[in-house]
Amino acid sequence: MSVPSLRSAITARRIDPLAPGAPGLYADHVVRVVRDGRATEGTGPRPIVRTEHFTLRRRGRRVELGHTLRPDELDNDLAGLLAEELFAPGWLSGSDVFERVFTGVVRSCVDGPLPAWTTFYDNTLARIQKSWQAPEPAEHSSIAGFAPVYRRTLDLVGPGVVLDVGSCFGFLPMLLAGRERQTVIASDLSRGTMRLLRTVARARGPALDALVCDAARVPLPDRAVDTVTVIHVLEHLDPGHGDTVVREALRLARRRVVVAVPYEDEPTAAYGHVRCFTPAELTALGARTDHRFSVGDFHGGWLVLEAG
């Protein structure tokens, strides 16, 4: 399962995660999200559905969502809650709606854009690191399910400069930036997400840079970094685009390229997955590069390419 992104590559109006807003409320032209929405019973349209955490209404074509999440509950497991309670049953659909509802819950849970997102990052990173010490059941936890992937990535990345492509929220770059002898560059298509990551990183302390670019066209010179990480990115791309991303990573890396993908029976559409991988397909991908490589299994598939 991939960490959901704020990548709105083609939308009529892009999401600004740091836009000013009223306390306890997030609203744009697609969604309206309010904190403690069940307390507003009778003030709006009849609920379409009530779940453990959410109350869903529609006003015309606009989604209206109330939630009961507290600040201490605000972390990236929100992705799983939304998927399980609203998107998997079909009450809501579409990656753009998912991204806007996700943003709305974060922004409405804590007053102020930066405090809301800093709380989200603090809670998520603390849960990841706690999971390394005492693993949690992963069935209903995006964080517990992904924590071993981050741990394995950190084990495979040596000292020096690391470029992470398709960084999304940037939890992995944040974890890397907290290590000694590590210089970190995050990258993603979404300008808003990279702005968010830079802003939160400055507020929290770990220094990192962030580029807005396609992973297939990174504006850095050949052999600019020691390691390139491509973690749960290729399942979002068609095969041709994915191969181009791997070739670009090899152009940039002096030492190593680390690729990780989930193993799924069907692509998870709610997270923007468009293809599935098997060990044989990862092996074929490695062979096409004409570089030394290894393939392994650990909470999904791993392809490690030796760039040198």
| Residue-wise pLDDT tens digits, 227-255 | 999 999 999 999 999 999 999 999 999 99
Residue 210 and residue 194 in contact, taking contact as beta carbons nearer than 8 Å:
yes
Q: Where are the domains of the chain?
A: 25-111, 138-306
Cβ atoms within 10 Å of 269's Cβ, excluding its own = 13
Is the alpha carbon torsion for 57, 168, 178, 77 positive or negative? Answer: positive
Side by side, the strands of the sheet bearing 62-67 are 25-27, 31-35, 62-67, 54-59, 49-50
pLDDT at 8 over 60: no
* CA 8/CA 11 separation, integer angstroms: 6
* CA 138/CA 125 separation, integer angstroms: 16
* CA 177/CA 29 separation, integer angstroms: 36
Give the pLDDT band (50/70/90) at residue 145.
Answer: confident
Selecting from 3.40.50.150, 3.20.20.140, 3.50.50.60, 2.60.40.10, what CATH number does the domain 138-306 have? 3.40.50.150
Buried b (16+ CB within 10 A) or exposed e, 63-100: bbbbbebeeeebbbbbbbbbbebbbeeeebeebbbbbb
Q: What is the pLDDT of residue 134?
A: 79
Calculate what percentage of the chain has a pLDDT beyond 90.
78
Mean local confidence (pLDDT), 110-118 = 97
CA-angle at 128, arms to 122 and 130, nearest 5°: 95
Reported as a single tens digit per residue, the pLDDT across 200-216 is 999 988 789 999 999 99
Cα 291 from chain centroid?
A: 29
Question: Looking at this protein, which amino acid is placed at residue 221?
Answer: P
What the block records as the tokens of 122 is 């603090």
- Higher-confidence residue of 143 and 2: namely 143
Mean local confidence (pLDDT), 35-57 = 80
Q: What is the pLDDT of residue 2?
A: 40
